[in-house]
Amino acid sequence: MFLWESIAFGPIHSRRLGSSLGINVSPTDVKICSFDCIYCECGWTLEKDYQSTHFLPAATILQAIEEKLKQCRQDNVPIDSITFSGNGEPTLHPDFLQIIDNLIIIRDHLYPNAVITCLTNATQLQKEEVRLALLKIENPMLKLDAGTDELLQIINRPTFPITLEEIVTEMKKFNGKMMIQTLFVRGEVDGVDFDNTAESNLSKWLEIIKLLNPKRVVLYSLDRETPAHHLTKIYKKELETIADKVRNFGIEAAVYE
Ligand code: SF4
């Protein structure tokens, strides 16, 4: 498990995004998230009180990103995507909209061909400024790992009370102008067996996908060490079978093993 130690890192080669400059707006010494996913590469969510977290000021974050982009441009480093990921959930930053607004200006000036991507767990979409910010960028990638609330509570383990129904209600407000990212996994956690590729979950997940009609669905599985043990990676062949069901709706789907 690891934490990013800087605000702007990379660029790294991403299976999904090409040359991706990572942006971490969470603290660099602790993971801050409103989920506690069993597969999170940053480890378990130990700090659950994100309301009182001391996030870095937006100005400090923007200055670090601008300096990094200037350096990359000077070194002729290609960047396909400026990607919010890092040590937790980016939309928890209280000035997320301000960061996005200013980043768009910086990007247009320094790397006009790079897209802005945000990997988000979609738990903050009830905040209008978060939805607004995500709708301003090219690639809002909203997490949807479960088709039932029971499975969401097992896989994503929210750190505050929220249901799948509430999340999907907010996702609908994007009118399809987003991507959905889903990690498929099966295994056992705290004595409970689960499998989000099982028909009982998959049929409901597909119903939600059809309803949301996103621009693209990204399917993937485990890649790195996970905090929970007893998890099983789902391989490409099985992911492709699921992706075909999405494509049958006329929705683009991409598999990353
Ligand atoms: S939403 Fe992302 S950062 Fe948060 S626990 Fe899940 S995988 Fe980790």
Minimum CA distance residue for ligand 1 atom 3: 88
Question: Does residue 254 surpass a pLDDT of 90?
Answer: yes
Task: Please tell me the least confidently modeled range out of 71-75, 76-80, 82-86.
Answer: 82-86
Q: What span, in angstroms and rounded, lies between the C-alpha atoms of 174 and 214?
A: 9
Contact between 139 and 117 (Cβ < 8 Å): yes
pLDDT in tens, 165-208: 999 999 999 999 999 999 999 999 999 999 999 999 999 999 99
- What is the average pLDDT across 68-74? 97
Give me the CATH code for the 8-256 domain, please: 3.20.20.70
Region class of 10: left (phi > 0), else alpha (psi between -120 and 50), else beta: left
pLDDT in tens, 119-156: 999 999 999 999 999 999 999 999 999 999 999 999 99
Give residue 45 CA to ligand 1 midpoint distance, Å.
Answer: 8
- What ligand 1 atom has the least distance to the C-alpha of 42? 8
Tell me which of 27 and 106 has the higher pLDDT.
106
* Predicted pLDDT at 168: 98
- What is the average pLDDT across 9-30? 91
* Predicted pLDDT at 62: 97
Question: Does residue 4 surpass a pLDDT of 80?
Answer: no
Mutate to test the pocket of ligand 1, among 4, 24, 34, 35 (most ligand atoms within 8 A of CB): 35
Q: Give me the chain's average pLDDT, please.
A: 94
Beta carbons within 10 angstroms of residue 235's beta carbon: 12
Q: 171: which 2 tokens?
A: 């996702």
pLDDT in tens, 218-240: 999 998 889 999 999 999 999 99
Q: Which long-range contacts (CB under 8 A, 24 or more apart) does 12-16 make?
A: 14/81, 14/83, 15/220, 15/256, 16/218, 16/220, 16/254, 16/256
* Predicted pLDDT at 53: 67
Give residue 27 CA to ligand 1 midpoint distance, Å.
Answer: 14
Give residue 93 CA to ligand 1 midpoint distance, Å.
Answer: 15
Residues with C-beta less than 6 Å from any ligand 1 atom: 33, 35-37, 40, 42, 45, 88-89, 121
Give residue 37 CA to ligand 1 midpoint distance, Å.
Answer: 5
Minimum CA distance residue for ligand 1 atom 8: 40
**Nearest alpha-carbon partner for 200 in 154, 251, 249:** 154
Tell me which of 3 and 90 has the higher pLDDT.
90
- What ligand 1 atom has the least distance to the C-alpha of 120? 1
Give residue 66 CA to ligand 1 midpoint distance, Å.
Answer: 26
Question: Does residue 2 surpass a pLDDT of 70?
Answer: no
* Predicted pLDDT at 1: 56
pLDDT in tens, 41-59: 999 998 777 776 678 899 9
Give residue 51 CA to ligand 1 midpoint distance, Å.
Answer: 17
**Nearest alpha-carbon partner for 82 in 28, 34, 118, 31:** 118
Give residue 123 CA to ligand 1 midpoint distance, Å.
Answer: 11
